[in-house]
Copies of this chain bind each other. A is one copy, B any other.
């Protein structure tokens, strides 16, 4: 027969030991301003002595808020989210908020709507770092911040009231493309995929090419953004334009897919062809790959998203906040001037 667990001390036990009322303990916990130092000390000591932990359930029930924010990630396989999350938490934690993280792919696989899941959890706000299905964000009663460049159905987009914090993906792709142009490349292809950031990155690439008087060559428009998609798009690009000397990929994994396509054709990186990725993921930093990549500063995107949320909690009527962070290019070994 299993021993019954010792019941956890409640706020009531703390109050009794400290010789004060429940309400006073509650005030100390939320470190309210008007509490005398003597009483505060006494309460803190009692909490310590009892090993008291407040019950989030009771607190949520009484206060009607969970102090939890739902974070919707696109795909746990793409480690882009790790920095985003670190940034979010660096602000949320000290403010007493908890991040509840879900992965869109995983949720979709289990056949449920992740936003609904968060709503069922009664989160106080949502951070969306994924392209959600059309309409899923309508009528959410909680503040929403969209982190990263995202694509919504046109209708939803108009109706959606949300704050937006993102890296400037178009600018990032422009930086990547201009880097190749500056190195002397003229024949540069782009590997894209259908996603919110993908569309912006493609635009940046196209702008840079046009500004330099070069023809944009875009492949993979109908595909996804995985390594396999990058490989497929690169194959199509190379078959159509074998003379290419530069490739700008919509992200790092696609760039790795391109690497395989190039090697299969006997082309060397960067001697024959230069390759640029996007996201500056850990992948790009691996010595074996050494990808030049665009850093979108996702940690700062996360932190700024959290700050925006806290500001909106303070003032729900605040006008929509939109912020684009400036990306930077990280040059590694996958780019070089074209062969003379």
Encode contact with B along A285-299: 1 for CB under 8 Å, 0 otherwise.
111110000000000
B282 pairs with A260, CB closer than 8 A: no
Distance of A90 Cα from B111 Cα, bound (Å): 11
Which of A26-34, A114-122, A167-175, A321-329 is the interface stretch? A114-122
Q: Is the CB of A82 within 8 A of B76?
A: yes
Q: How far is the CB of A260 from chain B (nearest CB, A)?
A: 4
| Interface flag for A93 (CB, 8 Å) | yes
Interface string of A304-325 (1 = CB under 8 A from B): 0000000000001100000000
Contacts of A89 in B (CB 8 A): 106, 110
Instruction: Evaluate whether A57 and B256 lie within 8 angstroms (CB atoms) in the complex, with A2-B317, A90-B110 already known.
Output: no
A94's nearest neighbour on chain B, judged by CB, is B110
Which among B55, B100, B288, B289 is the interface contact of A61 at CB below 8 angstroms? B55
Q: How far is the CB of A47 from chain B (nearest CB, A)?
A: 13
From B53, B76, B259, B287, give the contact of A231 (CB < 8 A): B287
Contact of A227 among B58, B93, B287 (CB under 8 A): B287
A177 at the interface (CB under 8 A from B): no
List B contacts of A35 (CB < 8 A).
none
Question: 1/0 contact trace for A66-108 toward B, CB 8 Å?
Answer: 1000000000110101100110011001000010110100100
Cβ of A322 to closest chain B Cβ, rounded Å: 19
Q: Kindly provide the distance from the CB of A190 to the nearest chain B CB, expressed in whole angstroms.
A: 19
Q: Is A155 an interface residue (CB 8 A)?
A: no
- Say whether A222 faces chain B, with CB atoms less than 8 Å apart: no
**When the two chains form their complex, are residues B82 and A286 in contact, meaning their CB atoms are under 8 A apart?**
no
A39 CB to nearest chain B CB (Å): 24
* CA distance in complex: A170, B286 (Å): 27
A141 part of interface (Cβ distance < 8 Å): yes
Interface size class of A (residues with CB under 8 A): 35 or more
With most chain B CB atoms within 10 A of its CB, the pick from A1, A231, A289 is: A289
Any chain B CB within 8 A of the CB of A60? yes
Query: Which residues on B sit within 8 Å (CB–CB) of A204?
Result: none
Whole-angstrom CA separation of A223 from B119 in the bound complex:
44
Interface residues of A in 1-53 (CB under 8 A from B): 1-2, 5-6, 53
Interfacial chain B residues near A122, Cβ < 8 Å: 53, 55-57
Q: Is A109 an interface residue (CB 8 A)?
A: yes
Q: Given A56-B122, A106-B89, A120-B56, does the pair A260, B231 have CB atoms closer than 8 Å? A: no
CB contacts under 8 Å to B, within A155-186, are none
Asked, given contacts A93-B110, A141-B5, A282-B77, whether A288 binds B316 with beta carbons under 8 Å apart, the answer is: no
**Which chain B residue has the least Cβ–Cβ distance from A92?**
B110
A280 CB to closest chain B CB (Å) equals 13
19 contacts between A and B (CB under 8 A): A1-B317, A2-B316, A5-B141, A6-B141, A53-B119, A53-B120, A56-B57, A57-B58, A57-B122, A76-B81, A85-B106, A93-B110, A101-B101, A227-B282, A227-B286, A256-B288, A257-B286, A257-B288, A260-B286
